[in-house]
Structure formats: structure tokens, C-alpha cells
Structure 1
Amino acid sequence: MTATAPEAVAALRVLVVDDEAPARARLRDLLGDVAGQQPNAIVGMAANGVEALRLLDAAAADVVLADIRMPVMDGVELARHLARLPAPPALVFVTAYDQYAVQAFELAAVDYLLKPVRAQRLAAALERVRARRAPPAADVLATLATRARRHFSVAECGRILLVPVAEVRYLRAELKYVTARTAAREYVLDESLVQIEQEFPRSFLRLHRNCLVAFAAVAGVERAAERDGQKEAEPRWEVLLRDLPERLPVSRRQWPAVRQALGL
């Protein structure tokens, strides 16, 4: 009998993300060095998380090798956005963190490569990727974050849209989702108001149980118009926005906190 030849191992599609060009070049060279052990093909190279997500819109990847500390969008925030994709790529952090931080990543089940990256360590990481380890949970990534996100992510038509947090005027809870309103349009987020409020206490103010407003978007506060000519015993208040016509009602319960927060 003739022995059956083993099936060829498919090449892993790799996206390299690092803000330093020499670091990207080193990973490119190392991926070439280990291609005999771990077949791979580089589908793109990016300098930050925003560039990486744009590249992923055009070319799918099986694994993302991402530096942690980068401008514009760091590796942890990138990981949080990747996790929202229908079929997220595996993520391997590339880090210069000390051993204690590396241990934290290990306990959180996040793969890592310690700089300077070695070829055999890279090959081992790619081998684990082939085992299809689950991506880190969102709550784990939140604990690893060293700063608040700069973007919300929205899944539309199988791709990720980035919404800068600074452009959001207010957020409103509707059924199981949260709608983020910018000057241009609305976006549906798969997040909770409580989570957003806790993550961005200096950016958003709670007006009532279903609404947060951006401090930067507040133009003023006015008493709500009286209804049917009947004056209410307690006045109701509405927040005016700088560049939107909507008036956002403030609940009686939240009014003392809103007045204090806005210095009224």
C-alpha cells in the first residue's frame, strides 16, 4: 500500500501592528524565518489599531501581532474592537512589559511575545494560534486597559466602524441596545449605559436612567415648557446641546447631581 501524503498546512494570514517601523520589519523578517515551521503570509502592516482595523476591512487575517503601547489606538483597545467581529482573528500581544505584567497576561489567557522577539518564541505563539484558542473575554481586556478607549466600535455589515468617543453627543438606552448620537448620525452599540458611565466618568453625565450626555456637548439647561397651561409643583429641566436641536430631559432624581456637575 502507498502511504498517504500528509495534508499541507495552510498558511496563517498575519497582520503586524506596531508603531515603530524597525519593530514591524523585525517581525516581518522573523515570520519569514519561521515560515518553514509555521507557514504564514503577511496580509498587512499597520502603525496603530485604527490602521489595523481599516486593513482588516480589505483583507482577512487569522492572527494579529499587536504591540501594546501605540499612539492613536493601543493594542488593548484594538483587542476590544477585534472581539466584536463575527469571526475575530487570534491576537498575540507584543510587549516590552516587565515579568509581572507578562504574568498578568498569562493568567488572563492572552498570548504575548516579549521584546526583543525570538524566532522560536514566535513559532510557538503561531502554533498556539493554530489550536484556535478563544479570544480574551471583554471583561479581561477591560482590566488590562491602562486608559479609556478613544473609540466605540459598531458592527455593521460584517465590519467594524469606529466612532470617536469625543464625537458622541449623547447616549440613549433603547431596548437591549444603546444608541450613540453624533452630530452626523446615530450608531447602535452593543454595550450598556452603566458600563459606559463607569468607563467614562469624566466624559459623560447621567441625565436619567436611559440617557448619558457628553459634558462637552452641553450648551445649557432650561426649564421644560409647561404642558396644557398647567404649572407643575416641581419644575422639570432639559439639557440643551451645542449642535443638535434635541432637548434631553433630566429626571427629578438626577437633577441635583446634574446641577452640581454642571456648576449651576
Structure 2
Amino acid sequence: MALKVLIVDDETLARSRMRTLLAECTEPRTDVVGEASNAVQAMDMIQRSHCELVLLDVHMPGVDGITLANTLRQMPAPPSIVFVTAYPEHAVSAFEVEAIDYLTKPVRRERLQQALQKVVKTRAGKEGNPDAGPPEALIIQERGRSERVALSDIIYLKAELKYITVRTAEKEHIYDGALSDLESRYSHLFVRVHRNALVSRRAVRAVEKHSDPVEGEGWTVRLDGCEERLAVSRRQLAAVREALMG
């Protein structure tokens, strides 16, 4: 079944370009139910068309895209929001209003298709559990791009100099933040294994002794979805074993 999409952008050429890109995306298929050049038109079409996804610009005459998205999320069954804009600096505000993704122009077809797949996955999860809120996530900003990484996808968080390496099964990200802050906010999801690392409680597969010619005997943790083993300090050993036992 095709995903019902509304395109909201004050530029006619941008809307036309988005229609072309959507036609090239096959998984999932999409059905463009309308176009709007401002927030008032968009709100009217959303109420009439029952669209599932709004591809939304940020800068528009009158009400901006962030304000419109904040209004939409108050609806009983709001459409999903993916921002499409030339301004990368609004990414944090976009995710604060529960956007699924944030695309910067010019948009590549592959990147748009990735966003569409996120929308389908998120909507399927909400249909299975309608009371569930948006998934907890970190907003990763790298090379002018902002990406939402669900905490449930993260295997470990490791402090490296001034940054944190965020490891998922697919790739590594660089996050600008403090490990202690993440630990205090997400201790229900992650356990500290060492002074420089947190691991997902769900990912802990085994705790094993190891011998290092330099450091001597110690402990490591094996994690699902990752071949790398992380050192476990003696101070944290009991907590990691507790996570292993569930």
C-alpha cells in the first residue's frame, strides 16, 4: 500500500523536484495527495486528505515549518513529519517537534528513500502500540548533516578525547557530549563498563576473563552486534554481570 504524502514548500520548483524524487522511490511506494505553499494550505489539506507523511520546508511565508509541525503533533492521529530544507541549523528544533528525519537540499534519492523507510517503520511500531511515544534517540550532527539515532540501536558509547563514539550494528557516529550526562539520562538502557564506556544492557552477551601482556589479567564484555570487546573495570564488574542476568 502506498504511503500518502503531502509536499509543503513555498517554492514551486522544489515541490516539482520532490514529486520527481518520490516517483523514483519504490520501497516504499508513495502517493502524493497534494501540495501546499504555506502552513494554512497545508493544514487544510491535512485535515481533508488524511495524509500519512508531510514533507515540510522550514522557511515559508507566515507560519514556519517548525511551528506547523508543533501544531500537527497535537492532533489525535498526526501525520509523520520529515523536514526538507536548505538550512541545516534547524535540525535540533525539528527533532524536538518529533520529526522522523531532516533532509537538507539538494536531496538525494537514496537519502529520501531512507527517510521514507524510517517513516514506515515508525508508523508500523505506533500502530502496534498506539500509546508509545517517539523512540528515545540521540541527534547526531556530522559533516553538516543531522541524524536521529534511536537509543535502542546503540551498542555502546565510548569517550574518545573530546567526543563520544556511538556504535550501532551498521556504523559508528561521533557525538559531541559528555558520557556522564548520557549515563545520568539513560541509566535504564546503558550500564557503565569502564570510566570511558557505556554499553547497552540489552547487548551484553558475556563477561569473560582475559590476559593482556601489558596490563595483566582483567575482564572484557562481549556484545551482540559487535565483534569488538570492551574492557570492564573491577569496580563495574558486578553491575555488568547484573545486566547480563537481565
Give TM-score scaled by structure 1 length. 0.48
Matches within 5 A, 1:1-264: 31-32=40-41, 55=55, 59-61=57-59, 62-64=64-66, 65-66=68-69, 67-68=72-73, 85-87=88-90, 149-227=135-213, 235-263=217-245
Percentage identity across paired residues of the two chains: 32
How much does 1:262 deviate?
2.8
Could you tell me which residue of structure 2 aligns to residue 98 of structure 1?
none
How much does 1:253 deviate?
1.9
The separation in 2 between residues aligned to 1:205 and 1:32, in whole angstroms, is 48
Give TM-score scaled by structure 2 length. 0.51
Larger strand share, 1 or 2: 2
- Equivalenced residue count is 165
Alignment partner of 1:184: what SS?
A: coil
The separation in 2 between residues aligned to 1:74 and 1:209, in whole angstroms, is 39
Alignment partner of 2:89: what SS?
A: coil
The separation in 2 between residues aligned to 1:242 and 1:162, in whole angstroms, is 21
Q: Please provide the CA RMSD for this pair.
A: 4.6
What is the letter of the counterpart of residue 218 of structure 2?
A: R
The separation in 1 between residues aligned to 2:236 and 2:93, in whole angstroms, is 43
The separation in 1 between residues aligned to 2:157 and 2:78, in whole angstroms, is 23
1:172 touches 1:211 (CA, 8 Å); kept in 2?
A: yes
Could you tell me which residue of structure 2 aligns to residue 21 of structure 1?
none
Q: Which moved more, 1:61-70 or 1:235-244?
A: 61-70
Alignment partner of 2:211: what SS?
A: coil
1:80-100 Cα distance to aligned partner (Å, 9 max, x none): xxxx95245977x99xxxxxx
Shift in CA distance, 28/258, structure 1 to aligned 2, threshold 3 Å: same
The separation in 2 between residues aligned to 1:220 and 1:73, in whole angstroms, is 42
Larger helix share, 1 or 2: 2
How much does 1:74 deviate?
9.2
1:161-194 Cα distance to aligned partner (Å, 9 max, x none): 2222211110101122111001111001122212
1:148 touches 1:200 (CA, 8 Å); kept in 2?
A: no
1:206 touches 1:213 (CA, 8 Å); kept in 2?
A: yes
1:205 touches 1:214 (CA, 8 Å); kept in 2?
A: yes
State the structure with more CA Rg. Answer: 1
Gaps of 5+ in 2: 1-8, 11-33, 43-49, 98-131
The separation in 2 between residues aligned to 1:73 and 1:227, in whole angstroms, is 57
2:157 touches 2:199 (CA, 8 Å); kept in 1?
A: yes
How much does 1:243 deviate?
2.5
2:194 touches 2:232 (CA, 8 Å); kept in 1?
A: yes
What is the letter of the counterpart of residue 251 of structure 1?
A: S
What is the letter of the counterpart of residue 257 of structure 1?
A: A
Gaps of 5+ in 1: 1-11, 14-24, 34-44, 79-83, 95-145
Shift in CA distance, 30/225, structure 1 to aligned 2, threshold 3 Å: closer
1:148 touches 1:199 (CA, 8 Å); kept in 2?
A: no
Shift in CA distance, 212/63, structure 1 to aligned 2, threshold 3 Å: same
